[in-house]
Chain A
Amino acid sequence: MIEQYLLHLFIIACVYAILAMSLNLAVGFTGLLNLGHVAFYAIGAYTSALLAVGLGVPFWGGMLAGGCMAALFGYLLSFPTVRLKGDYLVLGTLGFTIIVEAVLKNWASLTRGPLGIAGIPKPRLLGLSLSPLPAYALLALAAALLTYWLLSLVVASPFGRTLKAIRDDEVAAGALGKDTFRAKAKALALSAFLAGVAGALYAHYITFIDPSSFSITETILIFSMVLVGGTASLLGSVAGAALLVLLPEPLRFLPIPSDIVGGMRQAIYALLLVLVILKRPQGLLGEDTLRDAWARARRRRKGA
């Protein structure tokens, strides 16, 4: 029983780690304050779930389709929004989240509205079912590791340096030969693709999705993971995701009426966020925390 519970938390933490890392590509590395991430997550989850339930498409195809659909929306969203800066981009992407949520609730003939989609099949691999929890946990872990590997390659590449330059000074990046609109659109599309994959991973695990799984509070939760872990730090996002998934869990075991547990979770997130912003604004593992610690350690060894 306790194993099942821990494996469940592990899977959820992996899904959020993918979401936080991919959001960090936009927010931390490119400087795009995107509050629309949960919409990409929803698009991936619904695409994959509808393909599986309606057309019997297997999980792997659905996951890819979910990722691609989210990437397409990410790319399209970039056209009206990449010219927006700072606060205006926040509002634009927030509007996108609200639109997607409204469509999920009201386009009942496609999405079944607030009733949600039930009976999403668990994935199979080489004829084996991945429905036992340990198997699904391995799948989630593999997806999180692949995401980490892919994103660390991208951010360390010349393209990643272009993104950081755009974040630091977009005008200068343009004057140095970078097509800033295209670079931002590509970054947003990749970020959305990975969120879509996370959505498929979530939908086929929980086997039931409805619009309430993808509300604005989710967007804020993912954003908090990025900020707590540290912007422009992939490991930070993993740490932020793990921390925010695990931190409110002890509430389950306390004698608290269940109707206030939800509120208390939000209070814990808020408290943590305020603490981090006051005490460690660069986040738990900010951009160069690890590199600097490594350099310090090396200096000390040399000095000794």
Chain B
Amino acid sequence: MSALLDVRGLHKGFGGVKAVAGCSFCVRERSITALIGPNGAGKTTVFNLITGLIPVERGEIAFGGQQLHALRSHEIFDLGIARTFQMLRIFPKLTALENLMIAQRGRAEGIFDALLRPSLVREEERARRERAHECLRMVGLEEKAHAKAGGLSYGQQKLLDIARCVASGARLILLDEPVAGVNPTVRERIKALLRSLRERGTTILVIEHDMGFVMDLCDEIVVLDHGEEIASGPPERVRNDRRVIAAYLGE
């Protein structure tokens, strides 16, 4: 088993609050791994630490063997990690298509490249547009390509957010509550999408409170409580773990 993401002894405090306290876990390559735990367990903080949004206090995060600490979030993205946010962070004034085009890096993104290397820019833009259409098709938003993202419904924005990660071609995708607040149809669509991504070799780490979704979809589950992992393993083992039941239901 090869771990794509390896988190070791991660610590992060905010003032007096220990949000993450010595958390360690692995995400196997080409797996769907869930990060679950009660509210305030530190799940989103772990995501923010992995993606460089906030600095790591102590501990190590390795992605494909490379240490991530001290990298800024755009550098971490360039290594192949893309994410969604719990509070949606789409670009409301850009179209759905532009939202997906922006997630694709190119060589000609400089301020004067449109002037100095117009043919390269055109070529890259064409490739981006094609890929963006393909990803919109994948999530069933093709007719909305030219609509402003801010005008889409909540469910559509969630799909767009995931599609943006897919468009980026990232090896590891972090999803923060992808099915919270979406209707059952969209939920099933997201589930099917994540399975097909796994088929194609993408690794997925997902935070989710919907246990039906998690148990049905995930290969591995990591349970956090008070900033520490208290259990991990395949769904059936975690489901019966005494500490997990205690953390969720209270003693």
Contact = CB atoms under 8 A, between A and B. Distances in A.
B106 interface: yes
A190 B111 CA distance: 9
Contact of A168 (B91, B113, B124): B91
Contacts of A173: 91, 102
Interface residues of B, number: 35
Contacts of A99: none
Nearest to A177: B77
Given A153-B114, A177-B78, A159 B91 contact: no
Contact of B164 (A158, A161, A176): A176
Contact of B77 (A150, A164, A165, A175): A175
Interface in B82-139: 82-83, 85, 89-94, 98, 101-103, 105-106, 108-115, 121, 124-125
Nearest to A155: B114
Interface string B155-180: 00000000010001000000000000
Interface stretch (A13-21, A178-186, A246-254): A178-186
A186 B112 CA distance: 10
B53 interface: yes
B114 A177 contact: no
A175 B111 contact: no
B219 to A, nearest CB: 25
Contacts of A180: 74
Contact of B113 (A158, A164, A167, A287): A158
Interface string A148-162: 001001101111011
B45 interface: no
B146 to A, nearest CB: 9
Contacts of A168: 91-94
Given A157-B114, A168-B92, A168-B93, A176 B103 contact: yes
Interface string A105-149: 000000000000000000000000000000000000000000000
Nearest to A164: B94
A161 B85 CA distance: 21
Nearest to A232: B93
Nearest to B112: A154
Contact of A156 (B72, B73, B114, B164): B114
Given A157-B121, A161-B94, A174 B72 contact: yes
A174 B94 CA distance: 16
Contacts of A153: 114-115
A291 B77 CA distance: 33
Contacts of B202: none
B51 interface: yes
Contacts of A174: 53, 72-74, 77
Contacts of A167: 93
A165 to B, nearest CB: 5
B91 A178 contact: no
B108 A158 contact: yes
A50 to B, nearest CB: 28
Contact of B102 (A157, A171, A176, A287): A176
Q: Residue among B111, B112, B113 with the most chain A CB within 10 A?
A: B111
A238 to B, nearest CB: 20
A165 B98 CA distance: 9
A154 B114 contact: yes
A169 B89 contact: yes
A102 interface: no
B251 to A, nearest CB: 38
A172 interface: yes
B177 to A, nearest CB: 16
A88 B108 CA distance: 33
29 contacts: A153-B114, A154-B111, A154-B112, A156-B114, A158-B106, A158-B109, A158-B114, A159-B109, A159-B111, A159-B113, A162-B109, A164-B91, A165-B102, A168-B91, A168-B94, A172-B85, A172-B89, A173-B102, A174-B53, A174-B72, A174-B77, A175-B73, A175-B83, A175-B85, A177-B78, A177-B103, A177-B105, A178-B102, A179-B74
Q: What are the 8 A-B residue pairs with the smallest beta carbon separation, nearest first?
A: A157-B114, A177-B77, A172-B89, A168-B91, A174-B73, A158-B109, A153-B114, A176-B103
Interface of B: 51, 53, 72-74, 77-78, 82-83, 85, 89-94, 98, 101-103, 105-106, 108-115, 121, 124-125, 164, 168
Given A164-B94, A175-B89, A177-B105, 10 more contacts: A154-B112, A154-B114, A154-B115, A158-B124, A158-B125, A162-B109, A168-B92, A174-B72, A174-B74, A186-B111
